Chains A and B, each alone.
Chain A
Amino acid sequence: MTVAPVSSVDERELIARVRAGDGLAERALYDAHVDRVFRLAYRLAGDDDLARDFTQETFIRAFERLDSFRGEAALSTWLYTIATTVTLNGLRKLKRRGREIELDHAAEVAGGARRAEPDLKTRLYAAIDALSEKYRTVFVMHDVEGYTHAEIATALNVEVGTSKAQLSRARAKLREALADFAGEWVS
């Protein structure tokens, strides 16, 4: 399902209608943003059930707190901030509890549809998983999901320069982790 982007004028109207208790407007707001929220949650969690839980909680909080949205940033940025907070806090809780999320990379690599570098990809995924939370989050948001540094900075409550620096550091760590594949980069 493809949802047309919401213009800033439409968005203001949509927000006003949601605040007035319009259920259809809630659904329209959800439809406009659920894809990116779910994708971000999934990319960070790597688990379908967790991504669903985090997406659900993101929208529940957003609807509960929409009155506090002052419109200083785009609604999407505000939503990504909630999504990032919910997801990272959820993952931290799981980590504290010692629960391990099963990551079935082998199945992905052996899927057959993709042709290139199964070993390199496996190593790359492991290297991404091994990044610290802040580096991994910035890398996933920017290089995998295409968020801008401004969006990342708002979502993570850091300066734009910090986001850029962390991305640079994350890439350097990945290059370092995959140094022994240097000969295969050109293939």
Chain B
Amino acid sequence: MTDDRIDQRLRELARDYHRPPAVPREELWARIAAERARRRAAPRVLALRPWLRWGLAAAAVLVLGIALGRLTAPVGQLATPPDSAGVVAYRVAATQYLTRTEALLASFRAEARTGRLDAQFAGQARDLLTTTRLMMDSPAARDPHLKSLLEDLEVVLAQIAQVPAGRAGEDVDLITQGIEQRSVLLRLQTAVPAGPGARVQGAL
């Protein structure tokens, strides 16, 4: 018997290999619809690949370096940074991070006084907490002032992320006390580069 004939016989016999049952069309369609609805309703989590994570961290570090350099350099001795599109993009990204964090903490403190807290605070705090931890793992944290600020921000943002929506009790008082005692807002404002257009409008 030739190989061709054997192969033909094999194909005939293999038709029963894992022979599928009738396709459960309606059940499958219902499952697909339900799962798609569930995924649409679920909060989106941005899973960053390691190279992207480090890329973002490096970008943020670069911007912060520029921002800190501008803040610490004596007046009149500011070196003009290279006006490349990359540097501008980095500056915008870091400024946005610092501005968003500052705006979140200021809003949180203001709403805490009214006794009602919006549910969006926890979500925004979680987002910013991720960025903060990326910064802490990056060479930016070698700067002792920035490291200290990032550590305080991590604690505060982690606490806000845990606050249940609508509750402004003792926990919230402790968080706002922490913000005041560590002068977090003042230090954040100092870290944000000054000048027209430095702050990002509508960041929150």
Q: Quick one: which of A112-159 are within 8 Å of B by CB?
A: 114, 116-117, 120-121, 124-125, 128, 139-140, 143-144
B21's nearest neighbour on chain A, judged by CB, is: A48
A185 CA / B10 CA spacing, docked (Å): 9
Q: Quick one: which of A76-126 are within 8 Å of B by CB?
A: 108, 114, 116-117, 120-121, 124-125
CB of A52 within 8 A of CB of B24, answer yes
A48 CA / B21 CA spacing, docked (Å): 8
CB of A56 within 8 A of CB of B35, answer yes
B12's nearest neighbour on chain A, judged by CB, is: A116
Question: Is residue B14 contacting chain A, with contact meaning CB distance below 8 A?
Answer: yes
Question: Is residue B170 contacting chain A, with contact meaning CB distance below 8 A?
Answer: no
Tell me which residues across on chain A come within 8 A of B1, comparing CB atoms: 182, 185-186
CB of B32 within 8 A of CB of A171, answer no
A121 CA / B19 CA spacing, docked (Å): 13
Partner of A39, one of B20, B31, B32, B36: B20
| Per-position 1/0 for A27-47, Cβ under 8 A of B | 100110011001100111110
Question: Is residue A165 contacting chain B, with contact meaning CB distance below 8 A?
Answer: no
A60 CA / B36 CA spacing, docked (Å): 7
Tell me which residues across on chain A come within 8 A of B16, comparing CB atoms: 108, 114, 121
Question: Is residue B51 contacting chain A, with contact meaning CB distance below 8 A?
Answer: no
CB of B32 within 8 A of CB of A56, answer yes
CB of A120 within 8 A of CB of B13, answer yes
A51 CA / B6 CA spacing, docked (Å): 30
| A114, A140, A185: residue with the most chain B Cβ atoms closer than 10 Å | A185
Tell me which residues across on chain B come within 8 A of A124, comparing CB atoms: 10, 13-14, 17
CB of B7 within 8 A of CB of A171, answer yes
Tell me which residues across on chain A come within 8 A of B3, comparing CB atoms: 171, 175
A114 CA / B13 CA spacing, docked (Å): 11
CB of A31 within 8 A of CB of B28, answer no
B9's nearest neighbour on chain A, judged by CB, is: A185
Tell me which residues across on chain A come within 8 A of B14, comparing CB atoms: 124, 128, 139, 143-144
CB of A34 within 8 A of CB of B20, answer no
Tell me which residues across on chain B come within 8 A of A63, comparing CB atoms: 36
CB of A117 within 8 A of CB of B18, answer no
A117 CA / B15 CA spacing, docked (Å): 13
Q: Measured between C-beta atoms, what is the minimum distance from A177 to chain B in Å?
A: 10
CB of B20 within 8 A of CB of A51, answer yes
CB of B6 within 8 A of CB of A185, answer yes
CB of A117 within 8 A of CB of B32, answer no
Question: Is residue A66 contacting chain B, with contact meaning CB distance below 8 A?
Answer: no
Q: Measured between C-beta atoms, what is the minimum distance from A112 to chain B in Å?
A: 13
CB of B10 within 8 A of CB of A38, answer no
Pairs across A and B, CB under 8 Å, 19 listed: A39-B23, A43-B18, A45-B18, A52-B28, A59-B28, A59-B32, A60-B39, A63-B36, A108-B19, A120-B13, A139-B14, A143-B10, A143-B11, A144-B15, A144-B17, A171-B7, A171-B10, A175-B3, A185-B1
Beyond the given A144-B17, A171-B3, please list 10 additional residue pairs across the A-B interface where CB-CB is below 8 A.
Answer: A39-B23, A43-B18, A44-B18, A52-B24, A120-B13, A121-B13, A124-B14, A140-B18, A143-B7, A185-B5
B-contacting residues of A (Cβ < 8 Å)?
Answer: 1, 27, 30-31, 34-35, 38-39, 42-46, 48, 51-52, 55-56, 59-60, 63, 108, 114, 116-117, 120-121, 124-125, 128, 139-140, 143-144, 171, 174-175, 178, 182, 185-186
A-contacting residues of B (Cβ < 8 Å)?
Answer: 1, 3, 5-7, 9-11, 13-21, 23-25, 27-29, 31-32, 35-36, 39
